[in-house]
Amino acid sequence: MKGEGQGVGVEVFEDIEGTTSAKKAFLLLIKAFVGTGILFLPKAFSNGGLIFSMIVLSVVATITAVAMLLLVKVRLQVPGNFEDIGGKLYGKPMKIVVMTSITISQMGFCCAYFIFVAQNLYDLTHSLSNCSVDIPVIYFILLQLVVYMPFSLARKIKAFSYTALLADVFILIGIVYILYRDIDKLTTVGTGDIQLFNSKDYPLFIGTALFSYEGIGLVLPVVNSMKEPRRFPAVLACVIVCATVVFVAVGAISYAAFGNVTETIILMNMPVGHSMTITVQFLYVFAIILTLPLMLFPAIDILEQGLFRKRSGRASTMVKWQKNLFRILLCLALAMIAWGGASNLDNFVALIGGFGCIPLLFIYPAMFHYKAVATKRVYRICNGLMIVFGFAVMVFVTYISIRSWSTAEVVNHCTAH
């Protein structure tokens, strides 16, 4: 499972508080980082260029680790989850802002994976039918609702814990296969046409890199669940290093192997019609189908709190069915948004990373640390710089992603005519 589960950790770990070993904490966090988002990294390396991407990925990893440690230090002073801390430090408006960011990021992840599954199913039907069947992507997006709508009605997040574990196994198999194919191509054919720095599309890489490291939502729950919380910094360092090594390996090696023909989803570059390629595509499709309801759960919870306040479905059948209808309509709305973003998945992922993830990764932890912990001038200055940096990167990446998307749409429109 990738770290798309902002705000879900309290429910997941509520029964194991103070019992989790450092080893288990490592496994929980590594699951939060290394997931299906890794499949977008080779195309992201193409957008950024080989050397630039490796450097930026390392910088993002470092800043992410620092931000997580800042959040942990704040948690020691201010009890509560992510949004509760914001509310206690800056008032209710800040709590709403944090909850909004969590909701946007979670819904963005869900839309991206709607597209991911649809494009893989589209590619699979082409491969299995020798291109004689051409079903529009929108139908594959809508087909997923058959699964997601019933799953969205679940009231307890623990219902998804075992499916998420199975999804992790599928993802691991896929990563091994991708690296095997990359190395085989490099040794038999050689490197593709690569760039060290892509001056045109490099901002898209920054957004995708941030998308990949979005695991901050599990930090506080994991710390709370640890038997020895003092060991968390060492655990986090190991997780960040391991995740970065995997990201660089898949991103750089795949990009080196396929060069400028690298697809948005690297599985599309694997041998067409090969039995193992088809198997891995199916496994990734199942992995997303099993985990997307878990990713959607925090957004549903936050939106229902805003819409229904304290009205409970336990006390009223009418309220229960109103909530059910809301959840179904939300799934349908996400499918429509996914349809709109299906033509430019790399731009869509970069936009989510820039607009949805940066505040949660950089801005809010620094703001919380500034208010709750930073007593020395140097710490306040560093917090301020991190806030300004995060805001500047958010605006820059969001602007470039939207502009690039608009340009691509114009080009496609002109080509079509």
Residues 245-254 have pLDDT tens digits of: 999 999 999 9
Task: Please answer whether residues 369 and 70 qualify as being in contact, where contact means their C-beta atoms are separated by less than 8 angstroms.
Answer: yes
Q: Which two tokens stand for residue 84?
A: 């509760």
- Give the pLDDT mean for 32-44: 81
In a domain, 150, yes or no: yes
3-state secondary structure of 131: coil
- Give the pLDDT mean for 279-288: 87
In a domain, 336, yes or no: no
Q: How far is residue 291's CA from residue 262's CA, in Å, rounded to a whole number? A: 26
Q: How far is residue 217's CA from residue 82's CA, in Å, rounded to a whole number? A: 8
Q: Which residue has the higher pLDDT, 364 or 345?
A: 364
pLDDT at residue 221 is higher than 80: no
The radius of gyration of the chain from alpha carbons, rounded to an integer in Å, stands at 21
Give the per-residue pLDDT at 216. Answer: 65
Considering 1-10, 46-55, 148-157, the range whose residues carry the highest mean pLDDT is 46-55
133 conformational bin, left if phi > 0, alpha if psi -120 to 50, beta if neither: beta
User: What does the angle CA 89 – CA 365 – CA 370 come to, to the nearest 5 degrees?
Assistant: 55
pLDDT at residue 77 is higher than 80: yes
CB-side neighbour CA atoms (13 Å) of 50: 17
Give the per-residue pLDDT at 293. Answer: 78
Alpha helix stretches (DSSP H) within 226-376:
232-258, 275-308, 317-341, 345-351, 358, 364-372
Whole domain around residue 213: which residue ranges?
Answer: 22-308+350-405
Q: Which two tokens stand for residue 83?
A: 């949004």
Band of pLDDT at residue 3, cut at 50, 70 and 90: very low
- DSSP per-residue codes, 21-83: -HHHHHHHHHHHHSSGGGGGHHHHHHHH-HHHHHHHHHHHHHHHHHHHHHHHHHHHHS-S-HH
Question: Could you identify the residue written with the tokens 């990713």?
Answer: 295
Residue 255 CB partners (closer than 8 Å, separation 6+): 42, 45, 46, 50, 53, 192, 194, 262
In a domain, 17, yes or no: no
> Could you tell me which residues are beta bridge partners of residue 20?
226
User: What does the angle CA 391 – CA 392 – CA 397 come to, to the nearest 5 degrees?
Assistant: 100
Q: How far is residue 158's CA from residue 23's CA, in Å, rounded to a whole number? A: 21
- Give the pLDDT mean for 319-326: 88
- Give the pLDDT mean for 119-143: 86
Give the per-residue pLDDT at 1. Answer: 38
Give the per-residue pLDDT at 156. Answer: 65
Give the per-residue pLDDT at 94. Answer: 94
pLDDT at residue 279 is higher than 60: yes
**pLDDT tens digit sequence for 359-401:** 988 899 999 999 999 888 999 999 999 999 999 989 988 888 8
pLDDT at residue 12 is higher than 60: no
Q: What share of the chain is helix, strand, coil (3-state, %, to 5)?
A: 80, 0, 20
Give the per-residue pLDDT at 8. Answer: 39
Task: Please answer whether residues 198 and 49 qualify as being in contact, where contact means their C-beta atoms are separated by less than 8 angstroms.
Answer: yes
- Give the pLDDT mean for 24-50: 83
CB-side neighbour CA atoms (13 Å) of 90: 18
Q: Which two tokens stand for residue 95?
A: 């709590």
In a domain, 84, yes or no: yes
Query: Residue 216 maps to which CATH number?
Result: 1.10.4160.10
Q: How many domains does the chain have?
A: 1
Q: Which two tokens stand for residue 225?
A: 């669940």
Q: How far is residue 266's CA from residue 142's CA, in Å, rounded to a whole number? A: 23
Task: Please answer whether residues 45 and 208 qualify as being in contact, where contact means their C-beta atoms are separated by less than 8 angstroms.
Answer: no
In a domain, 67, yes or no: yes
In a domain, 169, yes or no: yes
3-state secondary structure of 3: coil
Q: How far is residue 295's CA from residue 282's CA, in Å, rounded to a whole number? A: 20
Question: Could you identify the residue written with the tokens 């594959």?
Answer: 140
Q: Which residue has the higher pLDDT, 18 or 239?
A: 239
Q: How far is residue 174's CA from residue 183's CA, in Å, rounded to a whole number? A: 14
In a domain, 325, yes or no: no
In a domain, 155, yes or no: yes
Task: Please answer whether residues 366 and 387 qualify as being in contact, where contact means their C-beta atoms are separated by less than 8 angstroms.
Answer: yes
Task: Please answer whether residues 351 and 109 qualify as being in contact, where contact means their C-beta atoms are separated by less than 8 angstroms.
Answer: no
Give the per-residue pLDDT at 14. Answer: 43
pLDDT at residue 31 is higher than 80: no
Residue 152 CB partners (closer than 8 Å, separation 6+): 293, 296, 300, 327, 328, 330, 331
Q: How far is residue 16's CA from residue 38's CA, in Å, rounded to a whole number? A: 29
Task: Please answer whether residues 33 and 213 qualify as being in contact, where contact means their C-beta atoms are separated by less than 8 angstroms.
Answer: yes
Instruction: Tell me which residue of 138, 95, 199 sits closest to 342, measured CA to CA.
Output: 138
